[in-house]
């Protein structure tokens, strides 16, 4: 009986940890002052996570839809290309076969990268005024495209054929949508927070 009670207590603690971590990060990185520049100079981790995951989902769906519609490629080609970064180039063939493990690995890597790049973008936006957020996001997307398709292709050459306008558009779209979503979510979060 005591073991069951301890397991229940530990389960409650484990469920509370993510909330406690977000609150700790919020207290550490978001000052409680208000003013004309309240949306600038602060970092909102929860807004960055939500914006990155939502934008990563939208961009991935659009990118796969474009590759199917424009290039008549199978839906699993792009996730397999991403999975090959972790699992090796042997998973690239056959590109039209649905292998759940390979595709899931590609999706996990995609969202891990979306979170990483979203966090970097949130840091970049700390001192960017509201009117310049979309432009800063577009520039970030361009830099991300150059990094992904020209820098990383030295290590993962199977991405070189993706140096196309639609891939460039996907990266710029990620930057713009992630930047504006992050700033809007951070502003909404601060407006909803109780005054200290």
pLDDT in tens, 96-142: 889 999 999 999 999 999 999 999 999 999 989 999 999 999 999 99
Residue 12 pLDDT > 80, yes or no? Answer: no
| pLDDT score of 40 | 54
pTM for this prediction: 0.75
**Rg, C-alpha atoms of the chain:** 20
Residue 67 in contact with residue 96, Cβ under 8 Å? no
Give the pLDDT confidence of 58-88 residue by residue, as tens digits.
999 999 999 999 999 999 999 999 999 999 9
Helix runs in the chain, H state only: 2-29, 45-71, 77-87, 100-124, 133-146, 165-192
Q: How many residues does the chain have?
A: 196
For the chain, how far is it from start to end, CA to CA, in angstroms? Answer: 43
């Amino acid at each position: 009986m005591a073991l069951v009670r301890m397991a229940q207590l530990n389960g409650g603690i484990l469920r509370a940890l993510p909330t406690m971590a977000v609150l700790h990060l919020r207290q550490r990185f978001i000052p409680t002052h208000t003013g004309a520049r309240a949306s600038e100079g602060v970092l909102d981790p929860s807004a960055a996570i939500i914006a990155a995951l939502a934008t990563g989902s939208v961009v991935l769906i659009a990118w796969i839809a474009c590759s199917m519609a424009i290039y008549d490629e199978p839906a699993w080609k792009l996730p397999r290309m991403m999975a090959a970064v972790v699992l090796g180039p042997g998973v690239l063939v056959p590109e039209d076969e649905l292998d759940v493990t390979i595709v899931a690995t590609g999706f996990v890597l995609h969202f891990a990268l979306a979170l990483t790049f979203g966090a970097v973008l949130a840091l970049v936006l700390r001192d960017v005024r509201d009117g310049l957020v979309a432009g800063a996001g577009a520039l970030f997307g361009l830099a991300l495209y150059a990094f992904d398709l020209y820098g990383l292709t030295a290590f993962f050459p199977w991405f070189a054929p993706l140096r196309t306008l639609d891939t460039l558009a996907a990266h710029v779209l990620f930057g713009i949508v992630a930047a504006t979503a992050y700033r809007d979510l951070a502003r909404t979060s601060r407006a909803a927070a109780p005054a200290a």
